[in-house]
């Protein structure tokens, strides 16, 4: 019996040491120490032994049982540790790997230009006004001296939502909204940047584009105030050598009206392909606020005069950055956009 116990002890010990998983250990435990395990069976069969053998075999069996269960415990701990190390190795982070660059957002070239324009006029004492992009016929046309059926409405092919509501075709309605709020106080000195919409779509026209409107109203405002302000704007935006000239034009809401040209940014005035050899480039429409417009919005045209202008932001940006297709602004191609960081 003693020999049998020693053999069991040796055999079980070997199995425990070489066990590779906790499940194997559990099976070994059942096989030797479980209810029907080999050691347990021997302990149960003690009664059949000669009385003088019992204490000896009994204590040996108990010792073997204790030793084995201790071995199983420590092997279990070992296997747990191995498992833990394995997991750590699998989850290890290589801190020497180069990082993945995070794409940081940046402003759209049109936003940059709009802010530069605003900056210049803020420096001249203008404030910023805003109006809705969904506008009533009254503010977009009627109050700007463009009554129903006026042929000049065709200058601005429009998106109508209802017969009396449309996407604003220009920022000029903000002139009216501002005057209504301020009249009869003076001076008024605002710019109104924002989106406008027209049914146009080609290399130089987009159905949505941006304008910055300007409006000044006070006593004794004259065309020379307009010209001086725009000259200063052109010089701050495009360089101190810039000149501006006014060309007679027509807008229903200004009288007289003028297109404003500045020296060609490409050739400096000498003549080139961009300015079609004229040396000048058109940058905006402008004029003295029409007496009807002043009167409709609450200013006495006998007492007050004013000037207004509206420039296309895309056009300014194209000239500033040398971009030749307006659609570039709206295709969201990072290769183009990231150049303006």
- Figure out which of the listed residues 158, 182, 263, 286 binds ligand PHE, where binding follows CB under 6 A: 286
**Candidate list 65, 75, 170, 290; residue touching ligand PHE; CB under 6 A:** 170
CA 335 to CA 328: how far, in whole Å?
10
Q: How far apart are CA 191 and CA 189, in angstroms?
A: 7
Q: Which of 191, 285, 293, 304 binds ligand PHE (CB under 6 A)?
A: 285
Decide whether 5 or 192 has the Cβ nearer to ligand PHE: 192
What binding mask, one character per residue, do residues 218-257 give for ligand PHE by CB under 6 A, x or -?
A: ---------------------------------x--x---
Backbone torsions φ then ψ of 108, nearest 5 degrees: -70, 145
**Residue nearer to ligand PHE on the CB measure, 281 or 308:** 308
Question: What does the block give as tokens for 179?
Answer: 């005057």
Nearest distance in Å: CB 334, ligand PHE: 31
Q: With CB under 6 A, what is the number of residues at the site for ligand PHE? A: 10
Comparing CB distances to ligand PHE, the nearer of 252 and 269 is 252
Q: Kindly tell me which of 15 and 135 has the beta carbon lying closer to ligand PHE.
A: 135
Nearest approach in angstroms of CB 287 to ligand PHE is 5
Q: Which of 37/285 has CB closer to ligand PHE?
A: 285
Q: Answer yes or no whether residue 182 interacts with ligand PHE by CB under 6 A.
A: no
* Dihedral (Cα; 16, 21, 24, 28), 10-degree rounding: 30
**Nearest distance in Å: CB 255, ligand PHE:** 10
Is residue 308 at the binding interface for ligand PHE, with CB under 6 A as the rule?
Answer: yes
CB of 162 to ligand PHE, least distance (A): 22
When asked if residue 126 is in the footprint of ligand PHE (CB under 6 A), the reply is no
To ligand PHE, the closest distance from the beta carbon of 286 in angstroms equals 5
Distance (Å, whole) CA 214 – CA 122: 11
The nearest distance, CB 204 to ligand PHE, in angstroms, is: 14
Which one of 140, 172, 182, 263 is in contact with ligand PHE (CB under 6 A)? 172
| CB of 262 vs ligand PHE, minimal distance in Å | 16
Return the residue of 12, 309, 319, 326 that touches ligand PHE, per CB under 6 A.
Answer: 309
3-state secondary structure the chain: CHHHHHHHHHHHHHHHHHCCCHHHHHHHHHHHHCCCCHHHHHHHHHHHCCCCCHHHHHHHHHHHHHHHHHHHHHHHHHHHHHHHHHHHHHCCCCCCCCCCCCCCCCCCHHHHHHHHHHHHHHHCCCEECCCCCEEEHHHHCHHHCCCCCCHHHHHCCCCEEECCEEECCCCCHHHHHHHHHHCCCCCEEEEEEEEEECCCCECCECCEEEEEEEEEEECCCCHHHHHHHHHHHHHHHHCCCCCEEEEEEEECCEEEEEEEEEECCCCCCCCCCCCCCCCEEEEEEEEEECHHHHHHCCCCCCCCEEEEEEEEHHHHHHHHHCCCCHHHHCCCCHHHHHHHC
Write down the least CB distance from residue 311 to ligand PHE, Å.
8
Stretch that binds ligand PHE, among 36-44, 128-136, 264-272, 279-287 (CB under 6 A): 279-287
* Positions in the binding site for ligand PHE (CB under 6 A): 170, 172, 251, 254, 285-287, 308-310
């Amino acid at each position: 019996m003693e020999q049998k116990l020693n053999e069991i002890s040796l055999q079980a010990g070997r199995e425990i040491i070489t066990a590779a998983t906790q499940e194997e250990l559990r099976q070994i435990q059942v096989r030797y120490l479980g209810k029907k395990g080999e050691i347990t069976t021997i302990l149960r069969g003690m009664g059949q032994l000669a009385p003088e053998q019992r204490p000896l075999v009994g204590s040996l069996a108990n010792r073997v049982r204790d030793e084995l269960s201790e071995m199983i415990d420590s092997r279990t701990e070992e296997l747990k540790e191995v498992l833990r190390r394995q997991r750590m190795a699998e989850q290890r982070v290589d801190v020497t790997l180069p990082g993945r660059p995070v794409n940081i957002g940046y402003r759209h070239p049109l936003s940059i230009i709009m802010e530069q324009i605003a900056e210049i006029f803020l420096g001249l004492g203008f404030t910023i006004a805003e109006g809705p992009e969904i506008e009533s016929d009254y503010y977009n046309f009627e109050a700007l001296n463009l009554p129903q059926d006026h042929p000049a409405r065709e200058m601005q092919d429009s998106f109508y939502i209802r017969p009396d509501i449309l996407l604003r075709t220009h920022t000029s309605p903000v002139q009216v909204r501002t005057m209504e709020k301020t009249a009869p106080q003076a001076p008024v000195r605002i710019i109104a940047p924002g989106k406008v919409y027209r049914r146009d779509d080609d290399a130089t026209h987009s159905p949505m584009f941006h304008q910055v409107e300007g409006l000044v109203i006070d006593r004794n405002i004259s065309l020379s105030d307009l010209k001086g302000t725009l000259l200063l704007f052109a010089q701050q935006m495009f360089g101190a050598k810039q000149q501006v000239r006014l060309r007679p034009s027509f807008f229903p809401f200004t009288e007289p009206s003028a297109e404003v040209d500045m020296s060609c940014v490409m050739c400096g005035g000498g003549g080139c392909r961009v300015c079609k050899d004229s040396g000048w480039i058109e940058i905006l429409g402008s004029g003295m606020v029409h007496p009807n417009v002043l009167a409709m919005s609450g200013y006495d045209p006998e007492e007050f005069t004013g000037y207004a202008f509206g420039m296309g932001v895309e056009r300014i940006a194209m000239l500033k950055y040398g971009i030749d297709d307006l659609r570039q602004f709206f295709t969201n191609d990072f290769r183009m956009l990231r150049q303006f960081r």
